[in-house]
A and B are shown apart, each in its own frame.
Chain A
């Protein structure tokens, strides 16, 4: 019996060793030999918002291919996070890909992203907050692909119906509460937004607080300023002049806004495309968010153009990113699918061409970039879950939980 067990153990061990030794997917060598040939083949993986974006990226990469002599294949991801994680683990990553800001830190920390910031001579031309968000260990890792900020969208018909004029656009919290109260009535709610820190965070920032310190090294969630910001939101929720999108049976705030259930909403410039597509008959105006006790504030979002450390064509990949990030190309993307350029110069041009988007473009000057810390997906997810019950829960309790969870994730990550 003992011999048989020993034999079985031996066979199992041999099988284990053979299988791991033979598997090609787990290469031991993290250095990838660079391809120095004249004609290289690049793959680009994108998470697209629709056909317009896919076509625009394909067109741009085709133009690059023609100019450089390299070939480029564009693939559209169905589940970006999962596909990228598998590609990294299998050491077969795409050369160039979109990196979502909430996954950026995980990839950068693991060394999957090739930090090409020092090879971009005019990196300073990109928005400073976004560069800060895509910096890891003091190095700019990847270039922001585009930018979005939040602004206040107002339904003009409901605005007039409530007896409000152009002079009444709110510039302070008190005014926001007042107009929201005037606009609320019947099936209309004054302000509708989603229960995420990606929206409600503007009030924390406007009160002078934020989730972390500017260097993203320390949690500052339990500050009095944050509590003040959320307490204001809570007072609006309690009085019924503000509701979450789910409460008015909408998938997202834009739907509630388009269907006229919300007179105001806080959304980014993607709202333009959605309104044009789904609710072309609804007139609306976009104004800057009202200022809080600590002044104006909004939030900025972005993806970046990641280049894989495991790519054999890093030089060509960086070349492609440079090509896709020129003023001209960013404006072409803006025209095609409504994103805002991440270059400050191109952004000014964009705002000049499209006056309706001025409030969003102006917001970039005082916007707060996204939180990019490794392992923070679940921390912020839990914060969003807690925000759902903000109406009945003390803001300090919610923020204390965020402080604790974030602190633990920071310690674990070090």
Chain B
């Protein structure tokens, strides 16, 4: 095709997409660029950040988060630790639960399938604020959960007041460490201002309830995505596998799961992104308490912007979080990429 004609086509193309490009640019790209600029300022939110009066500090906000020893770095490191445990537990659990639920409600022989589907999907359509409030009551020291535990003869913890890490509790129960007075290598070395012990102590009891809540609320949404994918698997494939003599487990392992791979990638990516941004549950339920163990980067960004009038710092936290999410998504893409049949045979 002649070059000129193609160029004309390109121009028309740009013209047709221009409304969308404009809208996206104005409401998405532009604010992001503005926030990036703010993250380089010491801005208290009172003046025009795009005038000569703006106090440009370069990478200072990032420096105080990542390299300078101080409260900012300690809080940021704490929030990263908390959120890492949150992601590590929430993403696999919600994906697994969603997959199991989808497999269950996909059974053709199951009675009351649509009722079950609705029930499982229900938490996802309920407002997260409302669900969080209900959980607050359930997990009170004298709440329903502890009453149930008491019937079983277990004395439940005071969930939202318990800053102890569950891993350190486990190790403490085994007599390996004394959670109150950690000593040795773990206590003497630190990264980003937190001791190894603090990094490794696991999510706090309070954080576990938030993890439980998000697994419960989001698994319904992902169940729906899995269900759609399951119904897309051609019946012939399953039938021929059955004729070949595949059992139920083999069917799952060699037919169903490989067919679900693209959807699995989608679900994991969505889960990863949303769990790194957890904010509303923290805002409603704990505001970082107890002992900063439910502090997350998103909430820290909010509190440094609106609590300390340090909007530059808040924006910087948001961008470090963005970089982190992008990096992890890229890693995950690498890990889940389609392998060629040859490499599989070689293994």
Contacts and interface: CB of A to CB of B under 8 A. Distances in A.
B25 A15 contact: yes
B307 interface: yes
Contacts of B140: 249
Contacts of B71: 378-379, 382, 404-405, 408-409
A378 B292 CA distance: 11
A82 to B, nearest CB: 5
A109 B44 contact: yes
Contact of B292 (A82, A85, A375, A385): A385
B291 A110 contact: no
Interface string B25-44: 11001100110000000001
B46 A89 contact: yes
Interface of B: 25-26, 29-30, 33-34, 44-51, 70-72, 74-75, 140-142, 158, 160-161, 163, 180-181, 288-292, 303-310
Nearest to A310: B46
A82 B25 CA distance: 27
B62 to A, nearest CB: 15
Nearest to A405: B71
A107 B140 CA distance: 37
Contacts of A405: 70-71
B46 A378 contact: no
Q: Chain B at the A interface: mostly helix, strand, loop or mixed?
A: loop
A388 interface: yes
Interface string A100-121: 0001001101111000000000
Contact of B309 (A16, A30, A110): A110
Interface of A: 12, 15-16, 19-20, 26-28, 30, 81-82, 85, 88-89, 103, 106-107, 109-112, 246-247, 249, 374-379, 381-382, 385, 388-389, 392, 404-405, 408-409
Given A375-B309, A381-B307, A382-B292, 11 more contacts: A12-B25, A16-B34, A26-B50, A85-B45, A89-B46, A103-B309, A111-B46, A247-B158, A388-B291, A405-B70, A408-B71
Contacts of A382: 71, 74-75, 292
Contact of B47 (A12, A30, A85, A246): A30
Given A82-B306, A377-B308, A385-B291, A246 B44 contact: no
A106 B48 contact: no
A27 B48 CA distance: 7
Nearest to B283: A79
Contacts of A409: 71
Contact of A20 (B29, B50, B288, B304): B50
A239 B111 CA distance: 60
A370 B26 CA distance: 44
A112 B163 contact: no
B290 A378 contact: no
Contacts of B305: 85
Contacts of B45: 85, 88-89, 110
Contacts of A379: 71
Contacts of B74: 382
B309 A106 contact: yes
Given A15-B26, A374-B309, A377-B308, A249 B303 contact: no
B80 to A, nearest CB: 16
A375 B64 CA distance: 14
A16 to B, nearest CB: 6
A69 to B, nearest CB: 32
A199 to B, nearest CB: 15
10 contacts: A15-B25, A20-B50, A26-B48, A26-B51, A246-B161, A247-B158, A375-B308, A378-B308, A381-B307, A385-B289
A110 B48 contact: no
B44 A106 contact: yes
Given A19-B26, A246-B290, A110 B44 contact: yes
Contacts of B291: 385, 388-389
B47 to A, nearest CB: 7
A85 B309 contact: yes
A381 B288 CA distance: 10
Interface centre among B25, B307, B309 (most CB of A within 10 A): B309
A26 B303 CA distance: 23
B308 A246 contact: no
Interface centre among B47, B71, B291, B304 (most CB of A within 10 A): B71
Given A378-B75, A388-B163, A246 B50 contact: no
A282 B181 CA distance: 41
Contacts of B49: 26
Interface centre among B26, B48, B158, B160 (most CB of A within 10 A): B48
A262 to B, nearest CB: 15
Contacts of B30: 15-16, 19
